[in-house]
Amino acid sequence: MASENRAAAALGRSYPGGTQAFVSAMNEMAMELGMNDSSFVDPTGLSPKNVSSARDLAKLVRAAHGYPLIREYSTRDKATVLLSGKQKMNYHNTNGLVRNSRWEIDLSKTGYISEAGRCLVMQVRLASKDLIVVLLDSWGKHSRVGDANRIRTWVETTAAAGIKG
């Protein structure tokens, strides 16, 4: 679903001990997951001082996949949230692949800051295999989708040819 950085910031502020305690808990969880190349300084992911690696992000996807609500909400096409009163907020998933029936996506997260470029992580089912895809620093607005489609084609082609890789 669309990133909601205000919600992440609010979670950090309301965490027992506040934002710094929340960020410390994030870093502790990262270490528990074996994310040795990762370090976080804020809950939103918007700081360029947050760092990670493709390998660590795959570990995070694998862990997040264990939560049914994360799987469900991260792969919805859109959602409407009713705020106080009758005001509604509409959200649309920033990963257009969730609207493509050719893709079987179990978990998805897009991201963007200028320092990291456009990023996409997904757990998908391709060629009868569960795979984690991590795409970092895509340069164009649609290039991460194009890259994902090229990966899909390669996986399906090699599987059809019986090539092990």
What pLDDT was estimated at residue 2? 72
Expressed in percent and rounded to 5, the helix, strand and coil fractions of the chain are 40, 25, 35
One-letter amino acid of 43:
P
Domains in the chain: boundaries: 50-160
Spatial separation of the C-alpha atoms in residues 75 and 105, rounded to whole Å: 7
Using the 8-state DSSP alphabet, how is residue 37 labeled? T
Q: What is the dihedral of CA 160, 62, 95, 72, to 10 degrees?
A: 110
CA distance 93 to 76: 7
Q: How far apart are CA 153 and CA 98, in angstroms?
A: 17
pLDDT value for 164: 73
Residue holding tokens 């995070």?
60
Per-residue pLDDT of the chain (165 residues; tens, 9 = 90+): 677 788 899 999 999 999 999 999 999 999 999 999 999 999 999 999 999 999 999 999 999 999 999 999 999 999 998 888 789 989 899 999 999 999 999 999 999 999 999 999 999 999 999 999 999 998 887 899 999 999 999 999 999 888 776
CATH architecture of the domain 50-160 equals 3-Layer(aba) Sandwich (3.40)
CA distance 87 to 83: 5
pLDDT at residue 43, as a whole number: 96
